[in-house]
Structure 1
Amino acid sequence: MKPITWGWIALLLVVFLYLLSASFYELRPGQSAVVLSAGHVAAERSQPGLYIHWPFLQSVQVIDTRRRSQSTKAVTITPSTGPSLQLDCFVQWHVSDAEKFYQRGLNTALAESQVSDVVQAALTRVVEKNPGVAPSSATLAAWQQSLSSQVADSLARNGISLDDLRFLEIGLTAEAQQDVYQKMRSDLQTKLAAEELAGKEQVDEIKNSAEKERQQIVSQAYTTAQQTLGQAQGQAAKIYADAYGKNPRFYAFYRSLEVLRDSAKADDVWVLPADSPLLRYLREGLQGGGKP
């Protein structure tokens, strides 16, 4: 056999193996496949396994059908009384009709965006039908049931099944949070100012009480001092009287010396008249040998 014949055989074998491998595709759990022939859906596969198709004549689009979870954008609720609120949802969904899902031109990313938009639009309609309502637990339960029905019907047209929908949380909007914060801050400042004023009043009361107590102590001390001084002066007067009674001349001399001591200065010169009692007492004392 000629060498060129072996080359053609090898080429045909490679082409055959390629066509054989390209003819098979595998579906895993959580996947569905849409088989396209000339741009139209020829078949849909949803069970895991190994399948065959005609390469070049048919193509296969594998679609993820696993359950997915996501949260949606918040919708603002404005009650007639009280601050504005925000309400968002938690949603679980999966692709139930791969053919319809493909015909809508969807993929996983587009489906997530569409689910969020559908839920937000339905929630907005529910809120607008109940203007000024501050939702209670019962109200939220009724809203959730109505919302689930509307969203399920809307998503079913795109081959998507709604598995679960519930409200994730309800809370204040950013503006309402800021208003509440400002109110709390104002209340706290008012409370601090009141406490500071009360503290100053207590300080003033303590100061006034301390000042009254100080004045009482000073008054009592002054009274005691005056009483002691009076007693001392009385004792001094008694001593002077006793001394005067024993020796009137010496007492008169001593009193004259006290007057000189209290009145004279270091450089003063005293001029006494000749008949001065003090001079006479001194003269008599010197004549008597210095004894009074």
Structure 2
Amino acid sequence: KDKKYIWVDTTARWKIKDPLKFFQSVYDERGGQARLDDIIDAAVRDVVTAHNLIEIVRSSNRLIEQISSLQEGKEFIEEGALEEVKVGRDKMRERIINIAKQILPQYGIELIDVRIKRVNYVEEVRKKVYERMIAERKRAAERYRSEGRGIRAEIEGRTEKELKVILSEAYKKAQEIKGEADAKATQIYADAYSKDPQFFSFLKTLDTYKDSIDKNTTIILDTNSDYFKYLKKIKSSPQSP
């Protein structure tokens, strides 16, 4: 019905109901089998062409019901990848049996059962079907990759934002600690200066010496310079004879 060319392989169980009619019409088992094949093939063709392909592939909508709760399943259903079954394989098989049963008694044959063994596309259509399946899988894969890239970008953006917040808070905390330390050091210096200004001046001068003078330093100073007043009080160590 949906213009898809397929090949249906069936098998049947039958028995001779009226030996006289059977002998007069088909003569022997080989003739009976040939006539049965013709009748069943015609019945299969009439029933199958009256329905869409999905009807002979599945017997129920259980597959749709099982995956409808999954996100991927919902997308497949919305895109038409999973069609809803209205008749189903079992009912189509029953219709094939009923059609054949109306014809076979005139040949002395009783049809017991018909089974559909396999349904497949004809060779020229099969390649197109495979290409469509591959294209659908690629499309689904690309959708997953796109969603993954979006999630990755979201995570990276959130991580970068959190990192900036952490660094900002750390810098703020460091500045607070540094400010407290500087204030405490200033207070210590102020207390030391208030207790002994001369000693405090001496310590500060020593710090200046430490920062600006090493063994390779040459300094030219006025003897009246405040910077020199502590140096000139240092006595040179006696040289060894």
TM-score, normalised via structure 1 length: 0.52
Tell me the alpha carbon deviations over residues 104-163 of structure 1, each in whole angstroms, 9 at most, x when there is no partner.
Answer: 5x5xxxx24x3332123223444666794118577765553442343343xx4xxxx312
Q: 2:19 corresponds to which residue? A: 96
Q: 2:40 corresponds to which residue? A: 123
Indicate conservation of the 8 Å contact 2:10/2:118, yes or no: no
Q: Greater Rg, structure 1 or structure 2?
A: 1
1:1-292 equivalences under 5 Å are 79-80=1-2, 84=6, 86=8, 88-94=10-16, 96-97=19-20, 100=23, 106=28, 111-112=29-30, 114-126=31-43, 132-134=49-51, 136=87, 141=94, 143-153=96-106, 156=107, 161-169=108-116, 172-175=119-122, 186-283=135-232
Return closer, same or farther for 1:182/1:117 CA change in 2, 3 Å cut-off. farther
Indicate conservation of the 8 Å contact 1:89/1:165, yes or no: no
Q: 2:68 corresponds to which residue? A: none
Q: CA deviation at 1:226?
A: 0.9
Return closer, same or farther for 1:124/1:230 CA change in 2, 3 Å cut-off. same
Return closer, same or farther for 1:142/1:172 CA change in 2, 3 Å cut-off. closer
For the aligned residue pairs, the C-alpha RMSD in angstroms reads 3.9
Indicate conservation of the 8 Å contact 2:104/2:110, yes or no: no
Residue aligned with 1:88, SS: strand
Return closer, same or farther for 1:274/1:146 CA change in 2, 3 Å cut-off. closer
Question: Partners of 1:139 and 1:213 in 2: how far apart?
Answer: 62
Structure with the larger helix share: 2
Question: Partners of 1:116 and 1:139 in 2: how far apart?
Answer: 22
Residue aligned with 1:272, SS: coil
Indicate conservation of the 8 Å contact 1:87/1:167, yes or no: no
Indicate conservation of the 8 Å contact 2:22/2:32, yes or no: no
Residue aligned with 1:279, SS: coil
Indicate conservation of the 8 Å contact 2:12/2:113, yes or no: yes
* Overall identity of the aligned pairs, in %: 18
1:232 is aligned with what amino acid? A
Q: CA deviation at 1:248?
A: 3.1
* Relative contact order, higher structure (CA 8 A, sep 6+): 2
Q: CA deviation at 1:261?
A: 1.4
Indicate conservation of the 8 Å contact 1:92/1:162, yes or no: yes
Indicate conservation of the 8 Å contact 2:14/2:113, yes or no: no
Residue aligned with 1:270, SS: coil
Q: CA deviation at 1:274?
A: 1.5
Q: CA deviation at 1:90?
A: 1.2
Residue aligned with 1:168, SS: strand
Question: Partners of 2:2 and 2:227 in 1: how far apart?
Answer: 110
Indicate conservation of the 8 Å contact 2:47/2:92, yes or no: no
TM-score, normalised via structure 2 length: 0.60
For this pair of structures, how many residues does the alignment match?
Answer: 195
Question: Partners of 2:198 and 2:116 in 1: how far apart?
Answer: 114
Structure with the larger strand share: 1
Indicate conservation of the 8 Å contact 2:100/2:111, yes or no: no
Question: Partners of 1:99 and 1:92 in 2: how far apart?
Answer: 12
Question: Partners of 2:231 and 2:213 in 1: how far apart?
Answer: 18
Q: 1:41 corresponds to which residue? A: none
Q: CA deviation at 1:277?
A: 0.8
Question: Partners of 2:121 and 2:134 in 1: how far apart?
Answer: 16
Question: Partners of 2:157 and 2:220 in 1: how far apart?
Answer: 59
Runs of 5+ consecutive residues of structure 1 not aligned to the other structure = 1-78, 287-292
